[in-house]
Amino acid sequence: MSRLNRDFKTRHSYHITVRCNNRDFRLTSLDCRKVLLYTIQKAIEKYDFKLYALCIMSNHIHYLMEPQQPDDLPKIMHLLNWYSAMCFNRMLNRTGHFWEKRYHATGFPHTDKKRALNTLRYIHANPKAAGMQQGMFYDFSNYGVYDRLGDDGLTTWHPAFLALGETLEECAAKYRGFCKKYRSQPKKERRNHWGKNVLKGLKKSGKGKKKTPPGQLGLPWDTREFVNPEVEAVAEKFIFANCYNPKVAGNILRREGCSTSRVKSAEQLELRAVTGNEKLEPARVSRKMTLLQIVIEFCKRYMLHSTSLDARKENQTNSNTPPNHHTFHPTKPPGGVLAPNQTTGRCPWGALEVKVPFV
């Protein structure tokens, strides 16, 4: 039986929900969420729709949006789901359907302000209802834009929110009090009862995760990651606008290897709070390894090892004493840099001359 056609109307807001296939928790990765925020920005630039609410959970996503034309909504969701699924399958090294089925959409007109506010509160309270947060603030929900009246670069305020008061501060205060009254209701889990008598006696298989064959080690370039500045900028603007504590968000992004101005500013605030010194430089941010850095690191270790062997042989010939393998360690030059005659070297195959800084 064919599916019923959707009836989209003008001047309507649509609450849209999409869920991962088999209800798997595929959206827990920070990189996947960054790519999803970047995809949403590209969809907004192409179709110019209004995104009133957004909440990215571990296995599903909530949207509240209003397209310019009713026929644009299927195109918007096709772009979001298709592009994100292609990216996630490559990032997670998987194949097949990423999203469970076609998106669920319910619409209501702008005149229904009560339903609009209830829908906004329901979307923003999803992390709290799931036990992920104690309050309403969530790094990947735009509640912070409504509470602190900020700008995350993706979402905007709903007309029902703007009708709560004469000023934005009054609207934010009333919506904050409205959200505090929310009480989540437990949902009954729906189960399929077809064939329950046949499947009653079956047991789950005890197969666990696939074991790595012995003797196979991963190569350095198998785990390297690529950083896209545009994706990082979109994600960090959204996170810092909606997170509860910018210092904590900055620490998380710094551990993931981000080094943009927002992360450095959050790190600088943390250093000032701890030490009270405003002239301290931020700590070094961990960087992702590229293929060139891997080659340089390999060459550096090779040359340090060969240099240490030559030095040990020279000491042995001068002192005529047996080598001591337990106390010999290559020393680090003073200041953390190599001598001028040691800054350049050749790779083992002698085909590439690279600079070898001491880390």
Torsions phi, psi for 24 (to 5 deg): -75, 150
- 3-state secondary structure at position 346: strand
Q: Which of 139, 163, 174 is closest to 250 using CA atoms? A: 139
Taking only the tens of pLDDT, the chain with its 359 residues reads 567 778 888 899 999 999 999 989 999 988 899 999 999 999 999 999 999 999 999 999 999 999 999 899 999 999 999 999 999 999 888 889 999 988 999 999 988 999 999 999 999 999 998 888 888 999 999 999 999 999 999 999 999 999 999 999 999 999 999 999 988 777 666 665 666 565 555 555 555 555 555 555 554 444 545 567 888 888 888 888 888 888 777 777 776 666 555 555 555 544 443 334 433 333 333 344 455 555 566 556 656 655 665 666 566 655 554 544 443 344 444 444 444 444 333 333 333 333 434 33
Using a cut of 0.75, tell me whether the model's pTM lies above it. no
Q: Which two tokens stand for residue 110?
A: 């702008």
- 3-state secondary structure at position 103: coil
Which CA distances in Å does 326 have to 246, 329, 330? 47, 8, 12
Task: Count how many residues are written for the chain.
Answer: 359
Which CA distances in Å does 219 have to 93, 224, 236, 294, 300? 16, 10, 31, 10, 18
Q: Which helix (H) or strand (E) holds 19?
A: strand 12-19
User: Can you list the domains of the chain with their CATH numbers?
Assistant: 12-180 (3.30.70.1290), 253-288 (no CATH), 289-311+331-359 (no CATH)
